[in-house]
Structure 1
Amino acid sequence: MITDFQAALPTTPVGLTTLTTTVPKEYVHRSVVTEVFLTGWRQTDADTCTVTAQWPRAHTFYGPAAGFHDPLLFSETLRQTVPLLSHAVFGAPMDHKQIWRDLHVALDPAALRAGLTPADVELSIRCEDVERRAGVLRGMRMEVTATREGQHLGTASTAFSSHSRALYRRLRGAYADAERAMAAAVELPASLQPGLVGRDRPHDVVLSPRAADGRWQLRVNTLHPIIFDHPNDHAPGMLLLEAARQAAQHHLGPEPVLATGLDAAFHRYAELDAPAWVAAETAADGRVRVTVEQHDALVFECAVTTHPATA
């Protein structure tokens, strides 16, 4: 296990105080190096770690809009942190899969403003409720406080399970083969107009036009290079979060909003071979409650807090 990534880097050249690079893509379960946002980690105590990240000024999917960084960059940063700490700090074998249970995010809109340089982000993480079996990580919860160049960015809490290859195959059964699952994916339905969901390209829209019952069909584009960075046997968690964000925007529209708060629960896998249906409603507390159902069962739910996207 590596407890300090920066300390493991080559000697810093004369004239520089630090070297900056991304962490190995294998640690964050990405196949493309350019999609890795994490730049380092350091274990500060038995159950605490610091993780650093850099958000680009431009990105094909998580790009800035209306003068603000995409709030879902923060969720993707957390998603990458889950396997990073599981493998690099807690020693989970590299073929173990981490599966989200829940995710809670609260961001400060002012700290999301895009600047003239990339955003350097630091996560202070406390690991709780660590579960092990025979000494091997089985799951935990991370409590996160985030800053951007010293400014408070937000907080988060997320819990996940960590499954061995054998356990995962038993849990998933016939669905465990990712390439076979993707080959059986339902036909991609038409997309909503991108502007209705805060997007500028149909390729990035994950909702279809509303059906007669007012719900949207989830668009699962297995050829999308960011959402499906590598073969996956189910709809990725980031796709479900993107659906929640787009559903909230369409529900509240037309003025653009930032999804600054997420309270999400992942109840079951969203399979690729059957339609999944997305619904949105305004909750009593003013948030937008988004649900995803498949085969009449609740797969995912998320309460979305929004803020006007006005610079």
Structure 2
Amino acid sequence: MTLLAYPAPALTPVSATLGAAPGPVLPPAPAPRLTSTVAKEYVHRACHAEVFITGSEALGDTTFAVTAQWPRAHTFFSTPDGTRHDPMLAAETIRQAGLYLAHTRFGVPLDHKFMMWNLDYVTHVRRLSIGAMPTDLIIEATLVPQPRRIRSTVDFTLSAIIRRGPHLAATGEARFTTVPDTTYRRLRGARPESAPTPETAASETAVPGEPLPPARVGRLRPCDVVLTPTGTPGTWHLTPDPWHPILFDHAGDHIPGMVLLEAARQATNALTAPITVSPTAAATTFHRYAEHDAPTTITARHTPGADPDALITTVTGHQHGEPIFTTVLTGHPDQR
């Protein structure tokens, strides 16, 4: 059987059949710029839903415009009345921006470990209201000073200005040191890189009594409470759920810094209950690792401040009598 190929008939433009000159051939319209969150590995998160960074653009050698988005509703970062973003979202966003820039702009390998020495933020409450759409942000991120490299170790401080449209929403700063995994293992020894199971945690760091009621610490759900009374006023046991999906998003050989910052928020609210306060600003220094298998005590006391409408609280955490972190938290009563 022979296949015969016939040429396709020439097509006459409709405009030619109507007597009009054919118009110029226009290039296709450019595709719209699409937005997604960055890879979760860049910000050390296991769950895609917990990634807030969406991209970045270099403005200079050490200055970047980082984009981010906050959801209108979050299962953990929330305020009691649900009308405003949790100010602690600013802290988490600054943390993520530092990790993201280290990996994508300075070439820090994904298997390197990060040590965070401090994390500070100040928010402007009027810019935290939740609108009809998710909140898009631009972070003016500056590395101060130039990241310092010693062999394979990088030490840098990130200064961040967070804008919501033209308005200033928050500012903050965080200092990081990155080290290879082999160096980190030497520093940390043979500690397993995972949180203890609930059964192990209960046997190693068991404390008497029940956690504080959620309303006492500015929370709505019992599972989010991280403090249990010690019997001493102003002092609590740190008792977070090691399987909490946000606080312990991924495996690690120590208690994350954001868990300690949450403990400072809850200790502040425990002091002021039944008045609930939002942590509009906080300055936190991490002195050493908070170990999973060591009892941790959280102590809080009010300290005087220049703003008569603000509550200044100094919160410290201790393990084996040694300080693991200190937070000076500024809170303002929630408007109901």
TM-score relative to the length of structure 2: 0.84
CA distance in 1, matches of 2:215, 2:80: 12
- Matched letter for residue 48 of structure 1: T
1:148 alignment partner, one of 157, 161, 164: 164
Determine helix, strand or coil for the equivalent of 2:77: coil
* More RCO (CA 8 Å, sep 6+): 1
**1:166 maps onto 2:157 in alignment:** no
CA distance in 2, matches of 1:139, 1:64: 34
Kept after mapping to 2: 8 A contact 1:249/1:257: yes
Q: Percent identical across equivalent pairs?
A: 40
Give the aligned partner of residue 192 of structure 1: 212
Residue 313 of structure 2: aligned partner: 288
Shift, 1:85, TM fit? 0.8
Match of residue 124 from structure 2: 108
Does 2:139 correspond to 1:127?
A: no
- Is contact 2:153–2:180 with CA below 8 Å preserved after alignment? no
Aligned 1:132-281 pairs, distance under 5 A: 132-134=149-151, 136-175=152-191, 177-179=192-194, 182-183=196-197, 184-185=200-201, 186-187=204-205, 189=207, 190-212=210-232, 214-281=234-301
Partner residue in 1 for 2:331:
306
Which has the greater radius of gyration? 2
AA aligned to 1:242 is: E
Give unmatched runs, 5+ long, in structure 2: 1-27, 306-310
Q: 2: CA distance between counterparts of 1:18 and 1:310? A: 39
What's the counterpart of residue 25 of structure 1?
40
Q: Distance in 2 between matches of 1:235 and 1:293?
A: 13
Equivalent residue, structure 1, for 2:55: 40
Corresponding residue for 1:10? none
Q: Which moved more, 1:272-281 or 1:285-294?
A: 285-294
CA distance in structure 1 between the aligned counterparts of 2:318 and 2:74, rounded to whole angstroms:
30
Deviation of the 1:161 alpha carbon? 1.0
AA in 2 matched with 1:133 = I
Task: Kindly state the Cα deviation for residue 279 of structure 1 after the two structures are TM-superposed.
Answer: 0.6
The secondary structure found in structure 2 opposite 1:208 is strand
Runs (4+) off by over 2 Å:
13-18, 63-66, 181-190, 209-214
Q: Does 2:101 align with 1:81?
A: no
Asked if the contact 1:182–1:231 (Cα under 8 Å) also holds between the matched residues in 2, the reply is no
Report the more deviating stretch, 237-246 or 36-45: 36-45
Confirm or deny: 8 A CA contact 2:80 2:219 kept in the other structure: no
Q: Which runs of 5+ in 1 are unaligned?
A: 1-12
1:40 corresponds to which letter in structure 2?
G
Q: 1:68 Cα shift?
A: 1.3
State the AA in 1 paired with 2:137. Answer: V
TM-fit CA distance, 1:154: 1.5
Q: CA deviation at 1:78?
A: 1.2
Q: Name the aligned partner's letter for residue 77 of structure 1.
A: T
Listed one character per residue, the Cα deviations across residues 52-75 of structure 1 (whole Å, up to 9, x for unaligned) are 111101111113432211111111
In the alignment, the residues of structure 1 paired with residue 206 and residue 67 of structure 2 have an alpha-carbon distance, to the nearest angstrom, of 37
* 3-state secondary structure, aligned to 1:249: helix
For residue 228 of structure 1, give the secondary structure of its aligned residue in structure 2.
Answer: coil
How far apart are 1:18 and its partner, in Å?
2.5
Match of 2:13 in 1: none
Give the Å deviation of 1:14. 5.3
> TM-score scaled by structure 1?
0.90
Q: Specify which of 110, 133, 137 is matched with residue 117 of structure 1.
A: 133
Cα gap change, 1:14 to 1:233, in 2 (>3 Å): farther
In structure 2, C-alpha distance between the alignment counterparts of 1:15 and 1:195, rounded to whole Å = 52
Tell which deviates more after alignment, 212-221 or 237-246. Answer: 212-221
State the distance in 2 between where 1:228 and 1:156 align: 23
Superposition deviation, residue 16 in structure 1: 6.5
Output the amino acid matched with 2:327.
C
Aligned to 1:297: 322
CA-to-partner distance for each residue in 1:214-244, whole Å, 9 max, x for gaps?
A: 4100013211111111111111000001001
CA distance in 2 between counterparts of 1:231 and 1:178 reads: 6
Q: 1:6: which partner in 2?
A: none
SS at match of 1:233: coil
